[in-house]
Amino acid sequence: MADPSSPADVASPVVVHDDQSAVDVDVDRWARLAAAVIDDLGVTGEMSLTFVDADTIARLKGEFLGVRAATDVLAFPIDGDADPTGDVPSMMGDVVVCPEVARDQAPEHAGTLDDEIALLVVHGILHLIGYDHADDDDTERMRALERRLLETHHWNGPVPASFRQEHT
């Protein structure tokens, strides 16, 4: 496993691992995005963000969801009570992203690889804190929050015309 990385210039609640080599990943950039999203949401806690290859994410999906197939992102919330005093940081959980899958689906999904990875990071964090897309109402709430967070912390402006959240 690669040594964990986090942005050198800021203390971060995010530890990033890049355990794949198929796609160049700027771990500092994605750690900053994750930290900004956590802060924006008012969440206190720590999380890991790990980039893995297609075989690894397929194995994880098989182990935890019963379907062995590559996917773009998995989120593993850590169930437990946070320290109410704030003396001990709580662990939010782990987000696992597959840049290979992101690269392959980006043209038909978010539009660009950067936008795809940004969406997957935000999507995974929202799953860690309890958001889901089990029905149409939950899906729309989650997508609206994803768009707002991406506009604020990724694009610093409006959603690009090529961006889509739905898979075609």
Q: What pTM, to 2 d.p., does this model score?
A: 0.89
- The yes-or-no verdict on residue 9 having pLDDT over 60 is no
- Has residue 161 been placed in a domain? no
- Has residue 8 been placed in a domain? no
Averaged pLDDT, 69-97: 80
Averaged pLDDT, 123-147: 94
- The yes-or-no verdict on residue 10 having pLDDT over 60 is no
- Has residue 48 been placed in a domain? yes
- Has residue 163 been placed in a domain? no
In which domain, by residue range, is 29 found? 14-80+88-155
What whole-number distance in Å separates Cα of residue 77 and Cα of residue 79? 6
* Domain total of the chain: 1
- Has residue 167 been placed in a domain? no
Query: What are the pLDDT digits (tens) for 15-61?
Result: 999 999 999 999 999 999 999 999 999 988 899 999 999 999 999 99
Q: Which residue has the tokens 């691992």?
A: 17
- The yes-or-no verdict on residue 166 having pLDDT over 50 is yes
- Per-residue pLDDT at 81: 52
User: At CB < 8 A and 24+ separation, what contacts does 106-112 make?
Assistant: 108/164, 108/167, 108/168, 109/164, 109/165, 109/166, 109/167, 109/168, 110/163, 110/164, 110/165, 111/160, 111/162, 111/163, 111/164, 112/162
Give how far the C-alpha of residue 47 lies from the chain's centroid of Cα atoms, to the nearest Å: 10
- Has residue 74 been placed in a domain? yes
What whole-number distance in Å separates Cα of residue 48 and Cα of residue 16? 6
- Per-residue pLDDT at 87: 57
Mean pLDDT for the chain overall: 89
- The yes-or-no verdict on residue 78 having pLDDT over 50 is yes
- Has residue 58 been placed in a domain? yes
The CATH number covering residue 58 comes to 3.40.390.30
Helices (H), the chain: 27-40, 54-65, 99-105, 113-128, 136-150
167 band by pLDDT with thresholds 50, 70 and 90: confident
- Has residue 126 been placed in a domain? yes
